Amino acid sequence: MTIDYRLNTKGVTILRILIHAVHYPICSARYAAAAFTRLGHDVRHVGLDTGGSGRNIWGLALPEKYIWSQNPPEDGWTPDLCILMDTAYQWHYPDANVPTIVWSVDNHVRHLRQPGISQYFLAHFHGPTQPVLHTDESWLPCAYDPVWHVPSPIPFEAREYDIAMIGVMYPQRVQLVESLRSAGLKVMAGTGLVYDQYVAAYHNARISLCVSAAGDVAQRVFETAAMGCVVMSDNCADFPLLQPSGIWIYDPATLVDEAQSILAQPRAAIANIQAAQNWVRPHTWDARAQLLLDTMAERETLSLSNMLL
């Protein structure tokens, strides 16, 4: 199997990329499709709809403006590369000469190995369900979207909320949010805010509370660092590899005291924010998409070299 790397009229390599994924209103596949498109590639995407005319996620029906509709290929359009993303089922392009890869941010909770996959790109190197162990597995961490997750225009001390925690409210998250509220801190927490609403919530919060689902460095860490919050996270297994700067690793037993300490020292908090923004700057979806393609190109070159030896 080979990828046909072609050049456009400006001498830039372009690919026809087919993404297969559940079309949730917000998901890593949607961010990836946008990133590949910004890089200049011809991107199509197909897969299951989520019900509710594409509005359903987390047991909620989001406003229609957030629907992500399929963009299937027309007749005669053949992909150079197929990417299976975050799906709960197996699928391969019917032409065996077209490589199919898996790109997933879910290897901390899902085992993704299946027949016919050329390479796995996994967001969590130490993912407890499928860690990166084999030569056909590559580490490709989560990221932030440079179009959406821009720095907050609101000065740190003028923000309405002390803390924001937008996401699925797992029991451990609820417990920590309740402890912060009980201490008198103003907390914005809940499920269902996406895109502009999600960005607005974090732009107006001094601290982003990140509570991992399974010791994973999730998208929220990268997104809220880019948006200019003090990121407070539990200790995640991949932090020694990512070497973050400005990220506050908290102890759940002392979270309230630590949050109050941050809020009482705005100068130090702003310094943390600046350090985190400098660290996170290169960690975009665009950079991840390019690294994926570079890795596939290197694999093809290595395969060719081996054949010539």
Q: Rounded to whole angstroms, how far apart are CA atoms 211 and 188?
A: 14
- Residues spanned by the domain of 26: 6-143+284-308
Asked whether residue 139 is domain-assigned, the answer is yes
Q: What is the pLDDT of residues 137-172, one digit of tens each?
A: 999 999 999 999 999 999 999 999 999 999 999 999
Closest CA to 232 of 215, 220, 214, 216: 220
Query: What pTM was estimated for this model as a whole?
Result: 0.91
Q: What is the pLDDT of residues 46-95, one digit of tens each?
A: 998 776 667 888 888 899 999 999 999 999 999 999 999 977 677 777 78
Per-residue b or e along 133-153, where b marks 16 or more CB atoms closer than 10 Å to that residue's CB? eeeebbbbbbbbbbebbeebe
Q: Rounded to whole angstroms, how far apart are CA atoms 2 and 253?
A: 52
Domain count, the chain: 2
pLDDT tens digit at each of 309 positions of the chain: 445 544 443 445 789 999 999 999 999 999 999 999 999 999 999 998 776 667 888 888 899 999 999 999 999 999 999 999 977 677 777 787 889 999 999 999 888 999 889 999 999 999 999 999 999 999 999 999 999 999 999 999 999 999 999 999 999 999 999 999 999 999 999 999 999 999 999 999 999 999 999 899 999 999 999 999 999 999 999 999 999 999 999 999 999 999 999 999 999 999 999 999 999 999 999 999 999 999 998 886 544 333 332
Please state, for a pLDDT cut of 70, what percent of the chain lies above it: 91
Task: Specify whether 125 is located in the same domain as 181.
Answer: no
- Residue type (1 letter), 263: L
Q: Rounded to whole angstroms, how far apart are CA atoms 161 and 170?
A: 21
Asked whether residue 271 is domain-assigned, the answer is yes
Q: Where residue 178 sits, what CATH number does that domain have? A: 3.40.50.2000
Q: Rounded to whole angstroms, how far apart are CA atoms 53 and 28?
A: 19
* Helix or strand holding residue 219 (H, E): helix 219-226
DSSP bridge partners of 164: 188, 208
DSSP bridge partners of 102: 84, 120
Asked whether residue 149 is domain-assigned, the answer is no
User: What is the model's pLDDT at position 177?
Assistant: 97
Asked whether residue 151 is domain-assigned, the answer is no
Q: Rounded to whole angstroms, how far apart are CA atoms 19 and 41?
A: 12
DSSP bridge partners of 248: 232
Asked whether residue 86 is domain-assigned, the answer is yes
Task: Specify whether 85 is located in the same domain as 117.
Answer: yes
Task: Specify whether 11 is located in the same domain as 126.
Answer: yes
> Who's near 55: CB < 8 A, 6+ residues apart?
25, 61, 62, 63, 64, 66, 67
Task: Specify whether 104 is located in the same domain as 171.
Answer: no
Task: Specify whether 289 is located in the same domain as 247.
Answer: no
Q: Where residue 11 sits, what CATH number does that domain have? A: 3.40.50
